[in-house]
Chains A and B, each alone.
Chain A
């Protein structure tokens, strides 16, 4: 592990302060806003304006190459930025855009980079992800959405589902089968699809965490040929396995959304326990609660260090961070730990944690909302599948 001791130079100390001061100005309300679990229109406007301000600073693309709207700054600086965002409680960037940026930077053409990275860097374009289909979830390679070439267009037909916040998005990153005779992983291509294309329709899927996924229907949706990203038929290896999915801890380091939220939640859980009395004493003095909090601290700290490890490996290798074993172990742990965290936190808070709003809600109802959202832990693949990949690809167990 590279020694990540971020504040060991005056420059880095100054950088940390710069970020901190910016946040006070750009997000004064300190409102808790998780874009994938909030449908409040005013909140969305405030949120988008915030990220456009971050984008203006050039901080979304902090580590990207200069020729593509980036600042080519170091991974250490990126880590400091993220730490400050967490500490401040700022909302996280819509993560799919960052995955798309990584894919386009790696596999896109120069023109595609110029065209698409700008909107992501400036936070003016929002991206949805169109991988999952009604009968292709964990078994993504069984997807049947078709893309066929027609002159200088690709024509899409099929259905995607569970697209997070796709109704808020301008573009969608779509995986489709471009070779009709292919099976499984071969013959799948990736497309950058403008969502205002005729022939695309969406139906909402409301989730239990106050957010919305969507079903997206493609009926002879014609997109220009240059919407194909990467090599035709090679998306599985290039995009999905290489960068997509949840493997965001690479050189273009995306924010680790879930981790950031969990670190924030832990800090808030601990202050809640310090400030709340039961039977006359603060919850932090209750021996059972101390044990519960201790367990939560261990899990969150392990995840924080895993992210740090990813950043530091990326800093040394200049490429992807953690390997298949490490990243899948982290993902599997995270996916199981999140609902566990939410459950234990609700046990700590007790019966009043049920209340969702108003004067009697604890921490504005955030514990129970965190509990509800924790069943969205399957986004990006289930823990069972992460364990399976870790076991076979990582530990070398037979498939």
Chain B
């Protein structure tokens, strides 16, 4: 299969529409407004996105989806990144709904996917624990069999939108070690024994600490096979990591635009600072990091889209995106010096969110390890 990193006509159209939509509906002020706010995200905007058909795009047609491919949605994530849209596209669609679509029973899919596509329901993943590890080993929250169901105990951190989610997909350990023995449960965050607390964070995202104390979950709410959830969970998370990388690309394009714009405008020593090679190096540092990440991410997306093995490519893409996020931030701040340090200047919005993206779904180190494991296999 020939590598084709270009979008087809329809995909290009989606990119353009998404760019226009987010530019119009998600100015930087909206991102500012929802920073560490009491509301998880703007519900009407979410509805609008649902009406555009973007939420259920990749869902099967029988669950009110459009049956679109991975690459078809790629541009939407790029634009959500560029505009810092304060909506949980990645968390609720790229991860939550994708897990349900991939692992759910017909009943579970029927109960959730059409409502998610319509923007009425929300499902997000609860996986990270207080020890801060990525990967299967990090899953230690216990799920003990009791009668027909299970009892869950433990703490999850950095859980997106727990305040509005209808169900959390809680990754728990039903036994075994490592990849063996991981089970996913659909848990109502309002169920007895579940307590949630929004944690203020650098990106200002609706991220919660979720504590489960003897929470009873019925067998019907197990998502996928008991003890065997890891491979599918990892596959979905790696796909989502590619979407996260696409968001970094979109944001990076905007950061580059801001930095280059400023370098052309700002005059010191009688000339635009962009004429100094020191500043040209900084701007091209942003551009190089962006270029590499963009190539690696598109390649990974194309692998996924064409049904080929993609773990290696996705790992390289996210590793690059995580590193790029930090590099672009540093170089863009250097270009701006004093003004970039001010809250009122929009660059910092990217700095803070970029930090979350760097970690989200695995940092560079985690993905280097995956890539090397693939290469050494």
Contact = CB atoms under 8 A, between A and B. Distances in A.
B342 interface: yes
A208 B348 contact: yes
A138 B199 contact: no
Contacts of B360: 351
Nearest to A356: B200
Interface string A370-383: 01100110100011
A339 B131 CA distance: 25
A137 interface: yes
A208 B276 contact: no
B337 to A, nearest CB: 4
A207 B343 contact: yes
Contacts of A350: 132-133, 359, 363
Interface of B is mostly: mixed
A277 interface: yes
B157 A372 contact: no
Interface in B142-186: 157-158
Interface string A295-307: 0000000000000
Nearest to A136: B268
Contact of B344 (A132, A205, A209): A205
Interface string A194-211: 000000000001111100
Contacts of A356: 199-202
Interface string A270-291: 0000000111000000001000
B131 A132 contact: no
Contacts of A388: 278
Given A343-B330, A375-B333, A387-B278, A351 B341 contact: no
B338 A132 contact: yes
Which bucket holds chain B's interface residue count?
A: 35 or more
B48 to A, nearest CB: 29
A209 B356 contact: no
A280 B205 CA distance: 29
A352 B130 CA distance: 8
B264 to A, nearest CB: 15
Contact of A208 (B137, B203, B207, B351): B351
B340 interface: yes
Contact of B340 (A132, A288, A375): A375
Interface string A206-229: 111100010000000000000000
B197 interface: yes
A347 B322 CA distance: 10
Interface stretch (A27-35, A49-57, A357-365): A357-365
Interface in B104-159: 128, 130-134, 137, 157-158
B355 A279 contact: no
A350 B128 CA distance: 11
B130 A206 contact: no
Contact of A278 (B131, B338, B344): B131
Given A351-B158, A382-B337, A384-B278, A206 B200 contact: no
Contacts of A368: 202, 355
A59 to B, nearest CB: 32
A150 interface: no
A362 B295 CA distance: 35
Contacts of A81: none
Nearest to B198: A358
Interface string A120-155: 000000000000100101110010000000000000
A382 B334 contact: yes
Contact of B199 (A213, A340, A358): A358
Contacts of B278: 384, 387-388
A206 B330 CA distance: 20
B365 A384 contact: no
A279 B131 contact: yes
B365 A288 contact: yes
A263 interface: no
A1 to B, nearest CB: 31
B131 A378 contact: no
Interface in B193-236: 197, 199-203, 207, 209
B266 to A, nearest CB: 8
Contacts of B326: 343
B364 to A, nearest CB: 8
Contacts of A277: 131
A331 to B, nearest CB: 14
B31 to A, nearest CB: 14
A112 interface: no
A378 B341 contact: yes
Nearest to A348: B365
A355 B199 contact: yes
Interface in B265-317: 267-270, 273, 276, 278-279
A132 B337 CA distance: 12
18 contacts: A137-B268, A138-B269, A205-B342, A206-B342, A206-B344, A207-B341, A277-B131, A279-B133, A339-B333, A340-B330, A351-B132, A351-B363, A352-B130, A354-B202, A355-B207, A372-B202, A372-B352, A375-B333
Given A138-B273, A350-B359, A368-B202, 14 more contacts: A205-B342, A206-B344, A207-B342, A208-B342, A277-B131, A278-B131, A352-B157, A354-B201, A356-B199, A357-B200, A358-B199, A358-B200, A375-B333, A375-B340
Pairs of residues from A and B, 10 with the lowest C-beta to C-beta distance, nearest first: A351-B359, A350-B132, A378-B337, A384-B278, A139-B268, A356-B200, A354-B201, A206-B343, A375-B333, A139-B269
